[in-house]
A and B are shown apart, each in its own frame.
With several copies, the nearest count.
Chain A
Amino acid sequence: MSTRVLAKRRLVTLALLRRESIGGLYHVLTFEDPDGSAAQPGQFTMVRGAEWGDAPLLPRPMSYLTAGHAPSILIKVIGEGTLRMGRAEPGEPFTLLGPLGEPWRAPTPGRRVVLVAGGVGVAPLVFLARAIVEAGGPKPIAIYGGRSARDLPLDDDLAELTELHTTTEDGSRGARGRVTDILGDLLGPDREVFTCGPDRMMAKVAELCALRDVPCEVSLETPMACGYGVCLGCPVPTHDGAYLYACTQGPCVDARRVDWSRGDHAPKKGAHLPRSQT
């Protein structure tokens, strides 16, 4: 599966091939790429409607769900950009800048892969699971959690590719609770974890893995302006008091590098800064 040689980054204008509305706020967008995308699992692309004009201004970072001649992304509608993506019609042109960032590192031979997914974080993990299975690797275990059954997009893909455990906070599917409630039982010395989802989930997963000395790879999510290393808008605090840049040094990194207690990954604090002004 994935090698360390990363494909050349390209900015291409691709027509939307199809948009599948898969329930709730989720859609899968598939593009037509005559040249084919050589993205590896864990890499992402900066996506923008070619006809958006001056606003929304910035492209949106989206993990590849699949690559090749029909690259696809899974989106959750949360703001103006994803709203537009969620109502795009086939034929609509989008610019995609990619593949970007560090992919998932190659699974360690001899260790069984445990995927821990939350919400749209499932996309790069489905891509990874498919790559592992296609390469003939051992079927990964997956834990997939959300608030309710509606918040588990692509659960059927994961069910097909992995030994799947689901959790929902309201108990509407799988075990009631969170992924981290059942993760402990699935960790072991012959396992390794790949996780993508909300920060708080990933921080907790990283903590559990660290306690059990299980390797843990996370995919970081931060706002990004450029996605390719020039704006310095995507810092993630590291333990040495410095930052790593999620777009070029991530998004996939060893969980131990991240200082989950600092910065945006810590509880939101912006509003509670001391009140002195100007």
Chain B
Amino acid sequence: MTRLGVEIGGLSLKNPVLTASGCFGYGLEYDDFYDVAELGGICTKGLSLHPRAGNPPERICETPAGMLNAIGLANVGVEAFCRDKLPILRERGVTVVANIFASSIADFVAITERLNRETGVAAVELNVSCPNVSEGGIEFGKDARMCGEVTRAVRSVTKLPVWVKMSPEAGNIVAVARACEEAGADAITAINTIRGMSIDVEQNKLRLANRTGGFSGPALRPIALRIVWEIAGAVSIPVIAIGGVSTTRDALEFLLAGATAVQVGTANFADPSAAKRVVDGLRAHCETRNVTVKSLIGSAR
């Protein structure tokens, strides 16, 4: 057994550090920085059935220790992904989690079926919680029953591990997570962004063309940690934590709280090697203490 390795459902990851969807492109912009295959895995930008141009500018703005984004799920579409991006990633030995979203169960199924035809996809992550497009699924994400249905539908058409990404805006997020577990999810990913807003008071105008945007970054971490703790106490499948991870310390905070792995999002922007730094830091941490990552999981509970 390796020191850093973890298992998520049937899937073994060489370490518990992935990159978060939408914060790492398709993993192909990092050649100048490091070998992305060294990560536990990457989550792709959210893939839809058809390509999407995304929202008009402004799409991003900064807030205290965080940022808002309203990208609007701009993406190349699942077809172009399979054709242009996946082969390169597969070739390089990158563990690829395909983050997908749709506004109907039928489309979730269709995207999954397209991915079924490829090798090199390690898991599908269902984004039922994107706050930035009206049809983007946040309504799925807030409702336990609907979330369970999406999960069950995808589950029934694929052998790939299915991860479901939670919306922190669900009134009862634990119920949503449990519904997904029951519907056959292999892991819960938590959390997606929370909708926020910002106004430029000098110009008396909203900073984002979409009005609201998803709130991410270090500021979000305490909320994400609480939710991860809650979910990890309520389900028996692994929880993959996201929200403001930028240092080894941050990753440990989530692991100790019960997460089996973490995803690094916004931190990639200031430092393209952020996720790699966390892998190295965890390795040093575990070597110094002669422990495995697995033994740390949930140890603060």
12 sample A-B contacts, Cβ–Cβ < 8 Å, listed by A number: A56-B62, A226-B272, A232-B54, A233-B59, A233-B69, A234-B59, A243-B54, A262-B56, A263-B57, A264-B56, A264-B58, A278-B174
Q: Output the least CB separation between B177 and chain A (Å).
A: 10
| Chain A residues with CB below 8 A from B270, complex form | 46, 48, 57-59, 95
- B residues with a Cβ closer than 8 A to A are 22-25, 29, 32-33, 45, 53-54, 56-62, 64-67, 69, 71, 74, 174, 203-209, 211, 217-219, 229-230, 233-234, 266, 268-273, 299-301
Would you call the interface of chain B mostly helix, strand, loop, or mixed? Answer: loop
Q: Output the least CB separation between A47 and chain B (Å).
A: 10
Extra inter-chain contacts (12) besides given A230-B29, A231-B22, CB under 8 Å: A9-B272, A11-B271, A11-B272, A97-B272, A229-B29, A231-B69, A231-B269, A234-B60, A262-B56, A264-B209, A270-B206, A271-B205
Q: Output the least CB separation between A214 and chain B (Å).
A: 27
Task: Give bound CA distance, A85 to B212, whole Å.
Answer: 29
| Chain A residues with CB below 8 A from B301, complex form | 271, 275
A-B interface pairs (CB < 8 A), number: 136
Task: Give bound CA distance, A208 to B62, whole Å.
Answer: 35
Task: Give bound CA distance, A46 to B204, whole Å.
Answer: 28
- A residues with a Cβ closer than 8 A to B are 8-11, 46, 48, 54-59, 95, 97, 222-237, 241-243, 262-264, 268-273, 275, 277-278
| Chain A residues with CB below 8 A from B74, complex form | 232, 235, 243
Tell whether, in the assembled complex, residue B269 and residue A58 are in contact, meaning their CB atoms are under 8 Å apart. yes
| Chain A residues with CB below 8 A from B25, complex form | 229-230
Choose one: B64, B174, B272; the contact of A55 (CB below 8 Å): B64
| Chain B residues with CB below 8 A from A229, complex form | 25, 29
Tell whether, in the assembled complex, residue A57 and residue B60 are in contact, meaning their CB atoms are under 8 Å apart. no
Task: Give bound CA distance, A22 to B22, whole Å.
Answer: 40
Give the interface centre of B71, B204, B270 by most chain A CB atoms within 10 Å: B270
Tell whether, in the assembled complex, residue B208 and residue A270 are in contact, meaning their CB atoms are under 8 Å apart. yes
A235-B234 CB under 8 A given contacts A8-B32, A275-B301:
no
Task: Give bound CA distance, A277 to B53, whole Å.
Answer: 23
Q: Output the least CB separation between A187 and chain B (Å).
A: 29
Q: Output the least CB separation between B231 and chain A (Å).
A: 9
Task: Give bound CA distance, A263 to B266, whole Å.
Answer: 24
Tell whether, in the assembled complex, residue B54 and residue A59 are in contact, meaning their CB atoms are under 8 Å apart. no
Nearest CB to that of B232 among chain A residues? A277
A57-B57 CB under 8 A given contacts A277-B233, A277-B234:
no
Task: Give bound CA distance, A67 to B32, whole Å.
Answer: 19
Choose one: A97, A230, A271; the contact of B300 (CB below 8 Å): A271
| Chain B residues with CB below 8 A from A269, complex form | 205, 209
Q: Output the least CB separation between B222 and chain A (Å).
A: 12
Tell whether, in the assembled complex, residue B65 and residue A54 are in contact, meaning their CB atoms are under 8 Å apart. yes
| Chain A residues with CB below 8 A from B211, complex form | 270, 273
Tell whether, in the assembled complex, residue A231 and residue B54 are in contact, meaning their CB atoms are under 8 Å apart. no
Tell whether, in the assembled complex, residue B218 and residue A232 are in contact, meaning their CB atoms are under 8 Å apart. no
Nearest CB to that of B24 among chain A residues? A230
Q: Output the least CB separation between B300 and chain A (Å).
A: 5
Q: Output the least CB separation between A59 and chain B (Å).
A: 5
Q: Output the least CB separation between B45 and chain A (Å).
A: 7
| Chain B residues with CB below 8 A from A275, complex form | 233, 301
A225-B269 CB under 8 A given contacts A231-B60, A231-B71, A263-B209:
yes
| Chain A residues with CB below 8 A from B269, complex form | 58-59, 225-227, 230-231
Tell whether, in the assembled complex, residue A54 and residue B218 are in contact, meaning their CB atoms are under 8 Å apart. yes
Tell whether, in the assembled complex, residue B57 and residue A230 are in contact, meaning their CB atoms are under 8 Å apart. no
Tell whether, in the assembled complex, residue B174 and residue A264 are in contact, meaning their CB atoms are under 8 Å apart. no
